[in-house]
Structure 1
Amino acid sequence: MSNRLLTYNPETEGAEGGLLIMGAPTRAAQPQPSTELEELELGSAFLEATSTSELASVVNRILRHGALLAGKPIASQVVQHLGARLNRAGQSVRTLLAPPAGRSDTAPSEAMERITGAELEGLSDEDKEFETARAFVRFAMEAGRLAARAPSTQPPAAVATAAARVAARRHAPGLDFVQLVPGFRARRAIRRQSFA
């Protein structure tokens, strides 16, 4: 089975194979790939973040890098919504990387494998943590890139949600389960904004 069939998602691909964000086609130009060195640097910064303010700073750096990859800035309201979503996901990943004292050793490694979508069985604990951090960085970078390329006519909350979901499917499939699902009122408000 070809890789194209495995990655096909009717919600995000148009008839010609171009990426659709909120129903609008994006530019045909492919983004420049992030260098592995930048990914490693941001992954280590993510692991070194000890407080929520440091984590927010790292998430903002990752979003800026994603906007650079897209070639255009992210709207400030989208940054607020997407940053909050990525901060929640980052805090969830950080709790998995540093589990409480009572949790067993197998639970974090299984969760890390679920997040990355790869088997981490032969790696040391430090390498598992680092690969999970790199998966988060790739996810956040892609979310920033997609949010920057989204049409400016769409509601910021809907753009942030769509960008995070598409990026999670591509780079960190297990993060869909880690992220908090918005409540009924938030989903209804997003739907109302998108139809207005």
Structure 2
Amino acid sequence: MTSRLLAYRPEMEMALPAAALPLQQEDELALATRLLEVRTASDVGAYLSHLLATTGAGRQLRGTPLARPLRQLLGQILAPLLPLHGAAPERLRRMARIFGMELEGLSPEDKEFELARRTVQLICSVATELARHGGASGAPQPKVAAALLQAARTLAPGLLKHAAQASRPPAAGRWRREGGHIVVSGC
């Protein structure tokens, strides 16, 4: 037996805080399965509350000024994407682009599940980022938005592009055809 094995002492390892621990695979799978059951906006709120109550970072944020803005922002992002179960193929492709995923060759059920898993990973990453760097002072909304941007850079790069397009004001104006020309007014 090598001296390295004899010298190993697990009690000497540093314990990580709950927020720094990654989500266990079993928990991620269970949360993704539960996300597939979400149908309405009220279900989204209940799901987010459950998810944040069962993860280390979420428990760390409970009762802080950051918890409510976090649930609100995540709810605004999730509501248009749900329900996942039984979603049209075009919607699944759009979500896959948001997460930067390639889902060709998977069955519709597997696509839904992989998107649910990535959504859970994003939510947990936002909560972890916020728990690490949120702090107690200052306005909570900018901190939540910054945590979302940080998590989206790696897990959902298409979300940044999608959010930028959604924040643009819609084009206004009227048009009419005059002979072979289109005349636009009010722009």
What is the TM-score of this pair, normalised by structure 1? 0.66
Counterpart for residue 7 of structure 1? none
Match of 1:172 among 145, 148, 156: 156
Cα 1:183–1:158 change in 2 (3 A) is farther
- Secondary structure at the aligned position of 1:41 is classed as helix
Instruction: Give the 3 Å change call, closer, same or farther, for CA 74–165 of structure 1 in structure 2.
Output: farther
Within 1, Cα distance between the matches of 2:109 and 2:137? 43
Q: Is the 8 A contact 2:61 2:131 kept in 1?
A: yes
Question: Structure 2 stretches of 5 or more lacking a match?
Answer: 1-15, 170-187
| Superposition CA RMSD, Å | 2.9
Task: Report matched runs for 1:97-108 at 5 Å.
Answer: 98-99=86-87, 105=89, 107-108=90-91
Unaligned 5+ runs, structure 1: 1-27, 185-196
Q: Which amino acid aligns with 1:145?
A: T
The C-alpha deviation readout for 1:8-43, integer Å capped at 9, x for no partner, is xxxxxxxxxxxxxxxxxxxx9781111111111111
- How far the C-alpha of 1:73 sits from its partner, in A, is 2.9
Matched residue, 1:94: 82
Which structure has the larger Rg over C-alpha atoms?
Answer: 2
- Out of 95, 101, 104, the position equivalent to 1:121 is 104
Aligned length: 151
Partner of 1:17: none
Partner of 1:110: 93
Residue 38 (structure 1) aligned to one of 20, 27, 43: 27
Give 3-state SS (helix, strand or coil) of 2:138's partner. Answer: coil
Identity %: 28
